[in-house]
Amino acid sequence: MPSLPAAPRMIGGVFYVPVRAVALITGAQAAWDPQTLTVNLTVMPTGEPMTTDLGQILADPPGWAGKLVRVRGEYTGWQADPNGPATSSGPPVTRSDWTCRDAGGSLYCTGSGGGHLAPLTDLGRRIEVTGLVVLAPAGYPYLQVTGVQLLTGLDGLTRYLTTDRRSYHPGDTVKMQMLVANPGDASLTLHFNSGQTYDFSVVSPEGDVVWTWSQGQMFTMALVSRELKAGEKYTVSADWTMPASLPPGLYSVRGELNADLPSYPQTLSVTGAERPE
């Protein structure tokens, strides 16, 4: 058993021991809450993590609370999704919490697992996160991270989709961009069935495709390949002007290099009123 860094004390009828020693002995994770000036101890369950995705966790937070999970997504630094129920209210534990995004949504992560990722230069990095699902006081879930693994090969290829804003009015133009990067130490080869090497689309709240960048364009039918050397990156972009009659709601912007290499979607809020002049 480890020795205590300080002797236990009895103060005012309360027995005090060093928190780090308690965490080490019990296997719990300690997290400091600067707002309430308290330390939260979370005991991690044992056993193999359950492989899932963020969408399933967001759909049933109480059902996943207390479970050790493994999810794959992309590192999005401190960029919370203002349209996401789990990230719109601010960090659940500390100001250094970071976010992870997959096809089902965005979730806050807390703990040291993402400490080796840079909030600016590593945006879009594909990762596998292991952690405990915890419910914040407001009821939304976050991950108490125990480990982060960087994905490699084509699984680790960055396809980081962004838009110039998150909220629009009918008639506005959405500027979308997808960063493609090979963060690994070996070259990757991308294969395409035609001269079309990327695409963007917008999907309505009901799941209908309302716009596609490639529609009406002509591409060569020859097979195309592109080598992406270690550390190499490039960007592709497109603009879409919303119809003035576009109904309000949450729309999903999607990008892909080919059918096997899609990006994770970006959610946009469209208001019901036209932009004031």
94 and 37 inside one domain = no
pLDDT tens for 167-192 read: 999 999 999 999 999 999 999 999 99
Give the Å distances, CA to CA, from 84 to 44, 53, 61, 90.
26, 15, 14, 11
How many other CB atoms are found less than 10 A from the CB of residue 93? 20
- What is the pLDDT, as a whole number, of residue 1? 46
- Ranges of the chain whose pLDDT falls below 70: 1-6, 10-46, 112-115, 273-277
Q: Domain ends where: 109, 131, 151?
A: 151
pLDDT for residue 120: 83
Task: Tell whether 3 is covered by a domain.
Answer: no
Alpha carbon distance 86, 91 (integer Å): 9
Q: Do 200 and 140 share a domain, yes or no?
A: no
**pLDDT at residue 254 in the model:** 98
Look at the block and give the residue holding tokens 């992406």.
228
Q: Quickly count helices (H) and strands (E) in the chain.
A: 3, 20
User: What is the Cα–Cα distance from 225 to 241, expressed in whole angstroms?
Assistant: 31
Q: Give the predicted TM-score (pTM) of the model.
A: 0.82
Task: Determine the Cα–Cα distance for residues 75 and 121; give it in Å rounded to an integer.
Answer: 10
Is residue 4, in this structure, part of any structural domain at all?
no
Q: 162 and 258 share a domain?
A: yes
Round to whole Å and give the CA distance between 73 and 241: 29
* Of 112, 136, 141, 129, nearest in space to 69 by CA: 129
What separation in angstroms does the CA of 60 have from each of 71, 90, 182, 248?
15, 20, 34, 26
Determine the structural domain holding residue 224 and report its residue range. 154-270
Contact present, 240 and 173 (Cβ < 8 Å): yes
Q: Are residues 89 and 171 in the same domain?
A: no
Same domain for 33 and 135, yes or no, is no
Tell me, yes or no, whether 277 lies in a domain: no
CATH of the domain at 101: 2.40.50.140
- Which pLDDT score, from 0 to 100, does residue 219 have? 93
| Alpha carbons 89 and 83: distance in angstroms, whole number | 10
Considering the domain architecture, whether residues 147 and 198 belong to the same structural domain is answered as: no
H, E, C per residue of 147-203: EEEECCHHHHCEEEEEECCCEECCCCEEEEEEEEECCCCCCEEEEECCCCCCEEEEE
Angstrom distances, CA of residue 69 to CA of 116, 147, 155, 184, 225: 21, 11, 19, 25, 36
The three state secondary structure string of 97-134 is CEEEEECCEEEEEECHHHCCCCCCCCCCCEEEEEEEEE
- The confidence score (pLDDT) of residue 95 equals 81
Instruction: Report yes or no on 250 lying in a domain.
Output: yes
Q: Are residues 181 and 157 in contact, defined by beta-carbon separation less than 8 angstroms?
A: yes
CA distances (Å), origin 125, targets 141, 148, 151, 160, 264: 22, 11, 8, 8, 12
CATH number for the domain harbouring residue 184: 2.60.40.2360
Domains in the chain: how many in total? 3
pLDDT at 138: 86
Q: Taking the chain, what is the end-to-end CA distance rounded to the nearest angstrom?
A: 70
Tell me what pLDDT residue 92 has.
Answer: 86
Q: Which two tokens stand for residue 234?
A: 């490039």
